[in-house]
Copies of this chain bind each other. A is one copy, B any other.
Amino acid sequence: MKNFTDYYEKRRSEVEKELRNSLVLVSNSPLKDNIEYVFSMGGKRVRPLLTIFAAEAVGECSDDAMRAAVAIEILHNFTLVHDDIMDNADTRRGKSTVHITSGVNTAILVGDLMIALAYDCVEKCDTKNLQGIMRIFNEGVKEVCNGQALDESLSKCTGGSMPQYMEMISKKTGALLMTAGKLGALLGGGSEAEIALLGDFGLNIGIAFQILDDMLDLEGDNDRFGKPRGLDIIERKKSYLFLKAQQLMDNNEFKVVSDAYNKTSVAEIDVLAVRDAYQKSGTFDAAKREVAEYTARALSSLNMLKESDGKDALVELANSLVQRRF
């Protein structure tokens, strides 16, 4: 692996091209333009790249591996469209979300059609093991729905525990990255053991990624991710930080957090007060340790694979994901 960034961008542009090509499968649909719009919202394309690199870590990235990679990215995009409805999110990456541009009903249908489009890409895999591919893919779709359902109930309940949170992010974020790792390994010609290892890699890097995401909610600039700082507080999300702070602080210390969470209108000063409390109590440090721990677990799965450019790319991918500035 000479230059990871160049290689990443090369593969990413291939993914973009394949995403656009997949639109031919919905060419007669009144919702085609909506799906094209979702694709145009961009993103890092982490999941398809993980699929591709996983295939390369055990063999090579065939056309089928690329199809599976694109299917997983389409599936990820479906979750964004439906999640944005549920979260009342008006923008994503600085662009209006689909239910804002086209209404909730159309956004529901766009997400539904994207699920079918994802399966359409999977079905095109010219393989004798379509059943094995479908099994892994289905499991991913189901778990990502279950994860979002757990997120919904965790947001609404008055309690909420760290184990519930860990189960939720394992499914909501981890499951698709796990699916990406497994499918890449399967289609790259990997053994059962390699498929399991690359699945574990995806799952653990997904968990690390999500905990980091919770931290970035408070640490980023206000418009850096196209969303306001402290959105988790405004939306009363039981984030990693919230639940860890509950463990680390006494009732008196935690009051500044619960007060902010109970406000009908959360101001910048409330967000900064919560951040300060998280810092003083060691909540941030605990989160950083957790990110490092899950990243290490992910990388230890890779250690058991033979050396390859694909493996190197996965190490770089993992590091780039967890070294986002905060």
Pull 29 A–B residue pairs with CB atoms less than 8 Å apart, ordered by A.
Answer: A30-B146, A30-B149, A30-B150, A31-B145, A86-B108, A106-B149, A106-B152, A108-B108, A109-B149, A109-B152, A111-B112, A112-B115, A112-B145, A113-B145, A113-B149, A115-B116, A115-B141, A116-B138, A116-B142, A116-B145, A117-B142, A119-B119, A119-B138, A119-B141, A120-B142, A123-B134, A123-B138, A130-B134, A134-B134
| Residue of B29, B78, B86, B145 touching A142 (CB-CB under 8 A) | B29
Is A148 an interface position by the 8 A CB rule? yes
A133's nearest neighbour on chain B, judged by CB, is B123
Q: Tell me whether A2 is interfacial, beta carbon within 8 Å.
A: no
- Asked if A116 and B134 sit within 8 Å, CB to CB, the answer is no
A76 at interface, CB cutoff 8 A:
no
Nearest B residue to A29, CB-CB: B146
Asked whether A105 is an interface residue with its Cβ less than 8 Å from the other chain, the reply is yes
Contacts of A123 in B (CB 8 A): 131, 134-135, 138
Contact with B along A17-43 (1 / 0, CB 8 A): 000000001101111000000000000
A238 part of interface (Cβ distance < 8 Å): no
Of residues 105 to 162 in A, which have CB atoms within 8 Å of B's CB atoms? 105-106, 108-109, 111-113, 115-117, 119-120, 122-123, 130-131, 134-135, 138, 141-142, 145-146, 148-150, 152-153
Identify the 5 closest CB pairs spanning chains A and B, nearest first: A116-B141, A123-B134, A113-B145, A86-B105, A30-B149
Known contacts A108-B108, A112-B115, A130-B134; decide if A26 and B142 are in contact (CB<8 Å): yes
A119 to B108, CA, bound (A): 19
Query: CB of A85 within 8 A of chain B?
Result: yes
Q: Please tell me if A82 contacts chain B, counting CB pairs below 8 Å.
A: yes
Provided the pairs A119-B138, A123-B138, A138-B123 are in contact, do residues A146 and B108 lie with their beta carbons within 8 angstroms? no
Interface of chain A, main secondary structure:
helix
Evaluate contact between B31 and A146: CB separation under 8 angstroms: yes
Number of A residues near B (Cβ < 8 Å) is: 38
Q: How far is B116's CA from A146's CA once the two chains are assembled, in angstroms?
A: 11
Known: A26-B142, A120-B138, A134-B119. A31 touches B149 (CB 8 A): yes
Q: Give the residue among A78, A115, A142, A153 with the most B Cβ atoms within 10 A.
A: A142
From residue A277, how far is it (CB to closest CB) to chain B in Å? 30
Output the nearest chain B residue to A111 by Cβ-Cβ distance: B112
- Known pairs A108-B108, A130-B134, A152-B106; A28 contacts B146 (CB<8 A): yes
> Is A109 a contact partner of B145 (Cβ separation < 8 A)?
yes
Convert A148-181 into 0s and 1s, putting 1 for each residue whose CB lies closer than 8 angstroms to a CB of B: 1110110000000000000000000000000000
Chain B residue nearest to A121 in the complex (CB): B138
Per the bound structure, the CA–CA distance linking A26 and B171 in Å amounts to 14
* A41 to B30 alpha-carbon distance, docked (Å): 31
A236 CB to nearest B CB, Å: 15
B residues less than 8 Å from A105 (CB atoms): 85-86, 152
Q: Which of A112, A123, A135, A152 has the most CB of B within 10 A?
A: A112
